[in-house]
Structure 1
Amino acid sequence: MGKPSIFSRDYEKIMRRRRINMILFILLIISIIYFFGDKFFNINFLKGIKFGNQNEKKSSSLVKKDLKNDYKTENSVNIIKYKKEDGSFIQIYVDKDKIVDIKDPSGNTNFDISDDKTFVVFDDIKSGKIIMFDTVNFTEISKDYYRSPKLGKIFYRKDILKSNPNYIWAAKPYILSDKKVIFISQLPYFKKNSQLYLWILDLKTKNSKRISSLSIKDVNSVEYIPYSEGLKIKIENNIYVLKKGSYRLIK
């Protein structure tokens, strides 16, 4: 194709078309080299540059995703609050259907978490209650009455606490390995200075039984010590053993 005359009426139009055709031709050559040139030339360095940018974007995305997952993990613990009779609150920490901790700012709550962390028992001494929480529901496992076999009479907790607000109806629970809970109470006697007794409650049957007198009047004088054959109970300076399946303390 000859060079058009500059005096031609279509000179500018022809030159513009040639420039466009030249650009399209160059782009076509580059595309052919990029997609098919690796059969004849080593052009991995070109692809490496582009792929490197893509990898960098992917890495950034992964970092953000990891940080997001860490954030979720840190905030996966739910804090469940329970209001006690005295108006204070205890906080129960639940992580993925497992109870990991329980806190009472006042320090007046005795509690025990099951070995599989599926439930916890704690006392509300002011109300005379022992509560069980299974990550969903709060359930009172202590009874609100006591039936005296000798007198053939029923004594209600609300009446006893009304006449004696400091009476220990049920306190300091501990979960045994056979799904039973022991606790401390002044039952079956109602004198103001009556001593404490050790009771055991079956979570399946809901029946409770008095085990032994502790010959003390202070709940804080009792300490539970895990033991392979049952449970050791330290009462002041004395240590007793409650073997598995037994209802008798052995010194």
Structure 2
Amino acid sequence: MSKPSIFSRDYEKIMKRRRRRNIISIIIIILLIGIVLIYFKCDNKFGDIKILNRLTSVTKIFKTEKLYLTSNKKINDRSNNKNNDLKNNKNNDLKNNKNNDLKNNENNDLKNSDDKENKNTEEINNDEEDSPQNINTVKFSLTDGQNIEASFYIVDGKRYFSKIDSNNDISFDFSPSRKGLVLCSLKNQDMFYATADGSLIEITKEKYVSSSKKEYPKYEELKKNPKYIWHKDPKFIDEYNIAYVSELPWIDDRHINYLWVYNLKSKKHRYISNTKLQGHKIILKELHGDFLNLLVDGKSFEIDSEGIIK
């Protein structure tokens, strides 16, 4: 409580009330102290024992509390240790997994490296197949007197054509697998199918039979008209079908090119009657998957082994 100003009119009254309150407070405190002393002094003979018991109880409470805190600390420590163990185990597992992953990745890298090396080895082997010491040659004698020399290489006991001497009067094409070769003489227009083991089969269309059953032998027709196209520029459509250009089925001077297909299995020549595949100039080009590309008077088409336009 703040002290009143000495210039106040009620200064004396306020100070008297304050002194009176202070005196009453002191008296009350003295009385309380006296009552406490009388209580302890007048208590029975076991008063000291009760006080001691109270002190003992308090001590036990403190000990129990200490034991509780200690026990609780141990439990918490064990729990923390367990959690730490679990955490450490988890970290170890993660570390082991990471190490295993790194090891596996390293193994995979090594495996990939080995695979790559093996692949490179295969590529080298393939290159070796085309090397001079691994190239073999085979010769074919045609009916026009030409001797054709072709190169081949061997893989797993199988022979594959590599190239052919192009300094000859022939047109030729390799089959998609390069196991077969078609040859057409530019001198007498005879056509052949060859394999790298030296086999040579003539597939010439010896004569044409008209719808009226009239026969037109190749030899006689070319003798009368040497510029007539009987077989020209054969190309493989697949392993067994060979397309070629011819002026057949018309034996005259119109000079129109038509498309024909020879099948190695059936040994038959088939005329493709689609008018889109007829023109003054047909150029057989390259394979696009299962289709042969060709140009008919400058227009591009793709046909399958049946001669059907894609």
Tell me if TM exceeds 0.5. yes
Q: What residue is the counterpart of 1:79 in the other structure?
A: 137
How many correspondences in the alignment? 173
**Amino acid in structure 1 at the alignment position of 2:302:** V
Counterpart-to-counterpart distance in 1, 2:170 and 2:194 = 14
2:140–2:149 contact (8 Å) kept in structure 1: yes
1:111–1:172 contact (8 Å) kept in structure 2: yes
Q: Is the aligned partner of 1:91 residue 2:153?
A: no
Structure 1 residues 176 and 229: CA distance shift in structure 2, 3 A: closer
Q: What residue is the counterpart of 2:110 in the other structure?
A: none
Counterpart-to-counterpart distance in 2, 1:222 and 1:235 = 7
Structure 1 residues 88 and 208: CA distance shift in structure 2, 3 A: closer
Q: Is the aligned partner of 1:176 residue 2:234?
A: no
Match of 2:171 among 110, 132, 135: 110
Q: Is the aligned partner of 1:222 residue 2:283?
A: yes
Counterpart-to-counterpart distance in 2, 1:162 and 1:183 = 21
Structure 1 residues 178 and 89: CA distance shift in structure 2, 3 A: closer
Give the fraction of aligned pairs with identical amino acids, expressed as a percent: 22
Q: Could you list the per-position Cα deviations for residues 142-170 of structure 1 after superposition, in whole angstroms to 9, with x for gaps in the alignment? A: 2211111x221121111011111122111
Gaps of 5+ in 1: 1-69
How far has the Cα of 1:83 moved from its partner? 4.8
Q: Could you list the per-position Cα deviations for residues 12-68 of structure 1 after superposition, in whole angstroms to 9, with x for gaps in the alignment? A: xxxxxxxxxxxxxxxxxxxxxxxxxxxxxxxxxxxxxxxxxxxxxxxxxxxxxxxxx
**Amino acid in structure 1 at the alignment position of 2:184:** D
Q: What residue is the counterpart of 2:205 in the other structure?
A: 143
Counterpart-to-counterpart distance in 2, 1:232 and 1:200 = 14
Structure 1 residues 79 and 193: CA distance shift in structure 2, 3 A: farther
Counterpart-to-counterpart distance in 1, 2:147 and 2:305 = 35
TM-score (norm 2): 0.50
Q: What residue is the counterpart of 1:13 in the other structure?
A: none
Counterpart-to-counterpart distance in 2, 1:185 and 1:153 = 18
Q: Is the aligned partner of 1:191 residue 2:255?
A: no
2:235–2:284 contact (8 Å) kept in structure 1: no
Structure 1 residues 245 and 76: CA distance shift in structure 2, 3 A: closer
Moved over 6 A (4+): none
How far has the Cα of 1:193 moved from its partner? 4.3
Q: What residue is the counterpart of 2:185 in the other structure?
A: 124
**Amino acid in structure 2 at the alignment position of 1:168:** I
More helix by share: 2
1:164–1:192 contact (8 Å) kept in structure 2: no
Match of 2:225 among 143, 153, 164: 164
SS of residue in 1 equivalent to 2:260: strand
Residue range with higher mean Cα deviation, 129-138 or 108-117: 108-117
Looking at CA atoms only, which structure, 1 or 2, has the larger radius of gyration? 2
Counterpart-to-counterpart distance in 2, 1:125 and 1:155 = 20
**Amino acid in structure 1 at the alignment position of 2:173:** D
**Amino acid in structure 2 at the alignment position of 1:248:** I
Counterpart-to-counterpart distance in 2, 1:169 and 1:186 = 6
> How much is the aligned-residue C-alpha RMSD, in angstroms?
2.4
**Amino acid in structure 2 at the alignment position of 1:130:** M
Structure 1 residues 142 and 245: CA distance shift in structure 2, 3 A: same
How far has the Cα of 1:125 moved from its partner? 2.9
Counterpart-to-counterpart distance in 1, 2:290 and 2:139 = 35
Gaps of 5+ in 2: 1-127
Counterpart-to-counterpart distance in 2, 1:109 and 1:82 = 12
Q: Which has the higher contact order (CA 8 A, sep 6+)?
A: 1
Q: What residue is the counterpart of 1:62 in the other structure?
A: none
**Amino acid in structure 2 at the alignment position of 1:80:** V
